[in-house]
Structure formats: structure tokens, C-alpha cells
Amino acid sequence: MTPEVGYVQQIFNRIAPVYDQMNDGLSLGLHRVWKRMAVKWCQPFSGATALDLCCGSGDLARLLAQQVAPYGQVYGVDFSPAQLAIARGRELAFSLPIAPLIWAEADVLALPFRDQTFDCATMGYGLRNVADISQSLRELHRVLKPGARAAILDFHRPGNPQLSRFQRWYLDTFVVPQARSQGLEAEYAYIFPSLEKFPIGSEQVEIAHESGFHRVTHYQIAGGMMGVLVVQKDGELV
């Protein structure tokens, strides 16, 4: 594990206890709408085997489990044991009928799955934090079945200068002070520098093409402050 990867892993381990609370407060609950959009775009179906990369506390994995129930299954993958512990605990309290959930501690750059395993996949707020975006997309391409789709939700830098200034102001004025109140200022101050290095939508599309995906679209949402990269592997699901 590189020092950079270890640093990011430590961040997500430390914020795990308040991760859901912070997401709700800082997005005014809208992250749940965006996650449902991502799940819809990856086209899960009853009986599918689904994958949620960088699953965190398991929001997207459980949404997938509703869609692929009763005969499908969902694998939630994360490199943070603290986040996976939260995900496992929340599963027990989830009341709606869902497909089986399997949690795996693993690196998205070297997934522990065979080629062409999954019918659909999601990733929420993970692509921006991986050490090698191209390698993570190549691994995603490898484990998807022909014709399978994946939807990748993350922050995005808006092209509109006013929205860009608002995004920075919101992070500095609301996100970091709220994190400071939880003793996590440094962890959440990390968001903006990570966003500055993160490829914008058109660049993500190019990287996805280079990683083997031929059908790629990037959707800007929330005024371009968020985005969903939708990729599809060539071929047809059988």
C-alpha cells in the first residue's frame, strides 16, 4: 500500500462513525436522490449479481439489493474495515426485503473476482479517491459481463464560474466547520484538493474509453457540482 493510499484509507476509517450523519447534513439529504439516480442508470434487474465499489456504509449496495431481490445478490467492496463494519451493522436493521449482501474488504485496483462476474455495478464517491483511476476502470471492465452497465457518482467541478465559487464557498463555510465540530476538520478539508485533481466529465469519458469501455456518458447533476459517469461493456447480457 502506498503512503497516499494509506492516508486515504485512514481518512475513511476515522470518519466512518459519522459518515452517514455528515452526508445527510451536508447535502441536505440530496445524496440519497443522487444515489437512486445512479442505481437506475446501472439498470439492475431481479436475479442480477451486482457490485458496489467503494461501498462505504452500504447505501448503494442496499439500494441495489432491493432491485435484484429476491434471487440476486450484491457484493459491497471497500478498503476501509471501519466502513464495512458500519455497513454490516446497518444491514441487520434494514427492514425491506432485499437480496443477500456480501461485504468484502478489498482494493478496487485488484478486485478478488473472476472475469465477467457482474450484471451491473455502482460506485459512490470512490473514483476521486482511488490511486489509479484508469486501473480501477480496467478492473471494473474486467469483472463486468458483456453488456453490463456501471454508474459512478462523484463530485464534479462545474464549468460555470459562479457555481464553482459557490461550491468552494459551501465546502469552506459549511462542510469544514461541521466536520470541525466532530473533530474531523482535516479529514473533510481533504475534499477540495481531491476535487481539484479529479478529472472533469469529458476527461472521465476519455479515460473510460481508454480503459476498454466503448459506450460512455457523463451526466452532470446538481448544476454540475455532481456527476454520474455511466459506462457499458460491449456485448449483450445473457
pLDDT in tens, 17-35: 666 676 666 677 788 899 9
Tell me if 237 is assigned to some domain. Answer: no
pLDDT of residue 144: 98
Q: How far apart are the C-alpha atoms of 93 and 66, rounded to whole Å?
A: 14
CA distances from residue 70 to 64, 82, 95, 233 in whole angstroms, order as listed: 11, 28, 14, 25
Tell me if 183 is assigned to some domain. Answer: yes
Tell me if 107 is assigned to some domain. Answer: yes
Domain residues for the domain of 52 are 3-232
Tell me if 238 is assigned to some domain. Answer: no
Q: How far apart are the C-alpha atoms of 168 and 38, rounded to whole Å?
A: 24
Tell me if 169 is assigned to some domain. Answer: yes
* Residue 43 in grid coordinates: 439498470
Tell me if 204 is assigned to some domain. Answer: yes
pLDDT in tens, 214-234: 999 999 999 998 999 999 999
Tell me if 194 is assigned to some domain. Answer: yes
CATH number at residue 53: 3.40.50.150
Tell me if 143 is assigned to some domain. Answer: yes
**What residues have CB less than 8 Å from 169, skipping those under 6 apart?**
none
CA distances from residue 231 to 20, 62, 190 in whole angstroms, order as listed: 27, 21, 27
E strand or H helix at 165: helix 161-170
Q: Is the dihedral of CA 141, 120, 50, 195 positive or negative?
A: positive
Looking at the structure of the chain, the number of domains it has is 1
Q: What is the pTM of this model?
A: 0.89
Say if residue 3's pLDDT is above 50. no
pLDDT in tens, 65-116: 999 999 999 999 999 999 999 999 875 555 677 899 999 999 999 999 999 9
Selected residue with higher pLDDT from 19 and 202: 202
Buried b (16+ CB within 10 A) or exposed e, 79-95: bbebbbbbbeebbeeee
